[in-house]
Structure 1
């Protein structure tokens, strides 16, 4: 008798695999949280040494800028691909592979002295960003219900925490030691990631089936990279230049062709029909605006802190001092993890996401009116960061609530990609404003205080736009986990094969001991 097939239009509930507790959940959460934080640190690792990169690598300033950009581009591509691989092969192999990419990239950079090897290493470090969306999907699957929301909130927050804490850490290391020490530190962290992930995490059978859509992955990479390159370099190349327009238009065309191809695949890299569901579509639109709002403070506040006193508004802080003023914001994201978890359990993802974006906007309004002292900007950063921590916890929860289990990893990866596109857009828009509204101080062209205030207002509007978008998501039940009875009823049609699956999962949940 043939096995019953799951309908193509299965609901997220009927597609959910059996969930069971694992041994040592606190250890698993510690390993996943630490490793996600390490992967996120790669975003800001070289920012303190960016002005010196041309002389360090013997290249031009425009070429050296790719050392930062390459990591962001690689991370944007890696997150949905890693998520889909996790759906097909299981989370643990992808997590180990992502950690290994970070190790390889860090070693190449540590041993390199010219642009080419450092660029290769930074691309590999960016690909390691795929660890984070897979980690979110993994903890959602293996954590017991009482820890599930806390785990998702904590791992989601690392996307912002790593960037915030990386600034003072990298600035201190770069000042105290040779710049290669940054990458030796990253290599040591990557070794811990690889070993702890391999040893401590259980293996779970994959929820999806099929093969990786390689052509779809290549097509998406071409389109996403082209659009992000055009947006990130538009201010340097000129927004009306043939290079900028050609790259952006070509990228959009590639993405349209990719979408046409994906809709005709039996096992696509990204199921666009699932992505078009109203809750997922609106959550991803909110993620785009949330990424814009989060990145604005990382771009604008450090520049305001470091602006010279001679401007009349600048605060004259060094890079290390700036990083230390920004660090409490990163810690605030972590501090709000239990609060985000409680909000998810009590109010659901929709209300939590809207609340987070309103809090983020409030932080920018504080910065608009209070920017005369470093502590005032720190206060604004902490408020905005609290909003980021709340919102980032809610987004993957909303995605996984409304996606089939076989597509949970790719869904979270696409959501992370949308946030990445928002951060890239923020960099471009803020650069336009800060270079368009300037004054001359000591022969140098610098942004005016009005330019900074415009940036704060734009970020606040983005946050409020994300909150408004969220309110159009259908209201769901607070608490995101199904009861055992619900799962049993949902799995009843496939009882025979489900029993075998359940037994296989139980035997595979033991942590690997290497």
Structure 2
């Protein structure tokens, strides 16, 4: 590949009327926002699930982990289907599955059914890449880039919307009422997609590489399990190391399968392009840092003051701390679009990483009052928003139009793995800083975690600057 997209021979179908074109953009934004919000519903409800369904906290934690796992597995498969002529059918079928999963979370069924419902909801995380493919195919060139960037931002800030809403509903009506929010909005998203998403332009064959999908699914399941289960490493180190080796072997085998396939799940050769590989590396390391800070702040805010720090906030009030994250993330996404004509996307990536690093530094320096946490969360949102808005531009600048969904689905898988590792790293550092017989970690553990986050964002910044030096994006 070179700096100009190659193989861009897909016919671009345009919505039939101006009204349809105007409705397409808000429809895409709404669908992306819904799937991100629904996936985040598990975060504030872990304690409520444990108490109301009488399961251990470790088991309740799977209501957050399972959708991430199913989303990581489904995303590349949906990205492949989204590159073919059956994209609309894939979108509608996926949303129907998400609605069915949402119904399972609401019904008064045993805990296992709740986990099954959350797994079905997580499949929807693969839809954002398909929304980007729709935007690139059906919107004018000068507008599609801005919409794709905002889709990337919307998929991030959905967590900031879902967290306080779910927490409020849980306090008022219980955990099933909170999950009821997911059922309502996913049903609305399905109706919106049915009315607004056009048929795909001609793309490559929709034939699915089943062998590649199965091997990749197994590898990703192992990677995310190893990233999310800290007890496995602390109590069964030999087993964890063995599973890590198996995951590496599976990923290598998957790469060989894709290179030999006539209809690969992912165009591995395209992923190896310096711009795409560098962007995915920046997303991976940056995702670790971004999610690490997000989890640090929410956990710190809810810690009882008896630990010597923290504010003892309820789940709902702690969720309100995410509002600056969502608002400033959206603002940063809009601003990024206005300056992209003057500043290269890799430099914007580096700028976003620097801002997130500043958020870590502020958190490490002083977190003695709630106002400072709101400020740090706002800085984090601004950095994440700018970073997310710039990311698609780096990848799509060297990606054929027909491969939009597939290329961005890989980036989203990388982001999911990075987020999982960020959560695991944060939990490991805080667990290490928790003394024998103590319920809460020492305050210094938060400072240590913040310093690790600064290191991650420094690596992300340097990777992005290297992309800019090479003239990519």
Q: What TM-score results when the alignment is normalised by the length of structure 2?
A: 0.93
1:457, distance to aligned residue in structure 2 (A): 1.8
1:436 has 2:429 as partner: no
Distance 1:55 1:303, change over 3 A: closer
Match of 1:272 in 2: 268
**Contact 1:94/1:131, CA 8 A, preserved across alignment:** no
Distance 1:194 1:343, change over 3 A: same
Distance 1:239 1:82, change over 3 A: farther
Aligned mates of 1:420, 1:471 — CA distance in 2: 23
1:430, distance to aligned residue in structure 2 (A): 0.8
| The one of 55, 58, 64 aligned to 1:59 | 55
Aligned mates of 1:48, 1:338 — CA distance in 2: 28
Match of 1:473 in 2: 467
Greater Cα offset, 464-473 or 281-290: 464-473
Match of 1:336 in 2: 332
Distance 1:9 1:332, change over 3 A: closer
Aligned mates of 2:258, 2:423 — CA distance in 1: 30
CA distances 1:391-412 after superposition (whole Å, capped 9, x unpaired): 1111122211112223221110
1:325, distance to aligned residue in structure 2 (A): 1.5
Q: What TM-score results when the alignment is normalised by the length of structure 1?
A: 0.86
Match of 1:447 in 2: 441
Aligned mates of 1:475, 1:144 — CA distance in 2: 30
Aligned mates of 1:375, 1:9 — CA distance in 2: 48
1:277, distance to aligned residue in structure 2 (A): 0.8
**Contact 1:305/1:315, CA 8 A, preserved across alignment:** yes
CA distances 1:6-59 after superposition (whole Å, capped 9, x unpaired): xx9996244253557543433211111111111001232122221232343343
CA distances 1:350-376 after superposition (whole Å, capped 9, x unpaired): 122111111111111111112111110
Aligned mates of 1:470, 1:16 — CA distance in 2: 30
**Contact 1:329/1:386, CA 8 A, preserved across alignment:** yes
List alignment gaps of at least 5 residues for structure 1.
Answer: 1-7, 481-514
CA distances 1:282-327 after superposition (whole Å, capped 9, x unpaired): 0000010121122112210011111221233222222111111222
Aligned mates of 2:296, 2:438 — CA distance in 1: 18
List alignment gaps of at least 5 residues for structure 2.
Answer: none
Greater Cα offset, 398-407 or 12-21: 12-21
Query: RMSD value over aligned CA atoms?
Result: 2.2
Aligned mates of 2:94, 2:255 — CA distance in 1: 26
1:461 has 2:441 as partner: no
Aligned mates of 2:183, 2:206 — CA distance in 1: 34
Aligned mates of 2:251, 2:103 — CA distance in 1: 34
Distance 1:26 1:345, change over 3 A: farther
| The one of 77, 94, 100 aligned to 1:104 | 100
SS in 2 for 1:316: coil
Distance 1:80 1:329, change over 3 A: same
Greater Cα offset, 15-24 or 247-256: 15-24
Q: Aligned residue pairs: how many?
A: 470
Match of 1:15 in 2: 8
1:116 has 2:112 as partner: yes
Aligned mates of 1:439, 1:140 — CA distance in 2: 53
Greater Cα offset, 430-439 or 135-144: 135-144
Match of 2:251 in 1: 255
| The one of 167, 170, 173 aligned to 2:166 | 170
1:248, distance to aligned residue in structure 2 (A): 2.2
**Contact 1:229/1:247, CA 8 A, preserved across alignment:** no
Distance 1:210 1:99, change over 3 A: closer
SS in 1 for 2:264: coil
**Contact 1:293/1:463, CA 8 A, preserved across alignment:** yes
Match of 1:415 in 2: 411
Aligned mates of 1:370, 1:91 — CA distance in 2: 49
| The one of 322, 330, 350 aligned to 2:318 | 322
1:467, distance to aligned residue in structure 2 (A): 1.6
Match of 1:485 in 2: none
Distance 1:237 1:111, change over 3 A: farther
**Contact 1:356/1:388, CA 8 A, preserved across alignment:** yes
Aligned mates of 1:14, 1:438 — CA distance in 2: 55
